[in-house]
Amino acid sequence: MLNKILVTYASRTGSTEGVTEAIGKTLSENGLTVDVLPVQDVKDLESYRAVVAGSAIQAAKWLPEAM
């Protein structure tokens, strides 16, 4: 059974990246296998049981690479 979690982010100045690193750390500490990756580095989702995605907001929208 798949048990890996993807936490992925789009960030310009690092805040969102920091939040996702904290989420990944908490999930890891609770026994899950976690990849934390910028959205540009995500090639497929098939190996993941769940995905947590986040983005910085600019002009009321997620960043283009996250959309």
Ligand X SMILES: Cc1cc2nc3c(=O)[nH]c(=O)nc-3n(C[C@H](O)[C@H](O)[C@H](O)COP(=O)(O)O)c2cc1C
Closest approach, Cβ 9 to ligand X, in A, equals: 7
Of all helices (H) and strands (E), which one includes residue 25?
A: helix 15-29
- Of 7-15, 20-28, 29-37, 38-46, which segment contacts ligand X by CB under 6 A? 7-15
Q: How many CA atoms lie within 13 A of 10 on its CB side?
A: 14
Cβ neighbour number for residue 39 with a 10 Å cutoff: 18
Question: For ligand X, how many residues bind (rule: CB under 6 A)?
Answer: 12
Contact set for ligand X, span 9-38 (CB under 6 A) = 11-17
Residue number with CB closer to ligand X (47 or 58): 58
Q: Counting every residue, how long is the chain?
A: 67
Q: Which of positions 41-60 make contact with ligand X (CB under 6 A)?
A: 56-60
Q: How far is CA 45 from CA 13, 38, 57, in A?
A: 26, 13, 23
Q: Which residues bind ligand X (CB under 6 A)?
A: 11-17, 56-60
